[in-house]
């Protein structure tokens, strides 16, 4: 079980960038990797104040217009997306950009619906990259929860 890589008592990571991605989290594990389709993805397990796991943050990326779009996806223990946050992108400012409102469209979706968010007009390639990266995060979540 991938969750056993770090135990709750070892969760001392209180990085605010992680805490905002999984509601109810008080601390996170140290970073560990999960391999999906031959690539390693950084992950963190979130724990509540009672040291119970409440979700994961999974870092993924996909090709955008001019380079990688890198995101952090929060997923709760039921597989619902709790947040998507842009970590970095290579597209020039003002071109191919999607705004914070776009990322909020993922919040509350079952991870299985991750690819259902419509692309943004004039930012289709970047929007599609975000969709692919969120879908990859959900696939990594499936591995974390014992799926394939």
Per-residue pLDDT of 104-115, as tens digits, reads 889 999 988 877
Residue 21 has pLDDT above 90, yes or no: yes
H runs (alpha helix) in the chain: 16-19, 100-104, 124-144
**What are the angstrom distances between the C-alpha of 33 and each of 23, 70, 79, 122, 143?**
22, 16, 18, 34, 11
Provide the pLDDT confidence category of residue 93 given band limits of 50, 70 and 90: low
Choice between 56 and 127, residue whose per-residue pLDDT is larger: 56
Rounded to two decimals, the pTM is 0.86
Choice between 26 and 92, residue whose per-residue pLDDT is larger: 26
CA atoms of 5 and 8, how far apart (whole Å)? 10
Mean pLDDT, residues 43-63 taken together: 94
Please give the structure tokens belonging to residue 8.
Answer: 């709750």
Sign (positive or negative) of CA dihedral 89, 45, 112, 42: positive
Mean of pLDDT over the chain: 83
């Amino acid at each position: 079980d991938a969750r056993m890589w770090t135990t709750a008592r070892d969760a001392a990571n209180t990085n605010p960038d992680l805490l905002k991605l999984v509601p109810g989290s008080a601390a996170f594990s140290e970073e560990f990797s999960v391999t999906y389709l031959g690539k390693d993805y950084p992950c963190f397990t979130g724990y509540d104040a009672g040291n119970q796991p409440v979700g994961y943050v999974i870092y993924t990326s996909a090709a955008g217009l001019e380079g990688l779009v890198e995101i952090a996806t929060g997923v709760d223990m039921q597989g619902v997306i709790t947040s998507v946050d842009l970590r970095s992108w290579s597209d020039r400012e003002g071109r191919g950009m999607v705004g914070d409102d776009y990322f909020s469209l993922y919040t509350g979706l079952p991870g299985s619906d991750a690819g259902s968010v419509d692309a943004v007009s004039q930012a289709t390639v970047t929007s599609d990259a975000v969709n692919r990266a969120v879908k990859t995060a959900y696939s990594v979540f499936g591995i974390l929860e014992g799926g394939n």
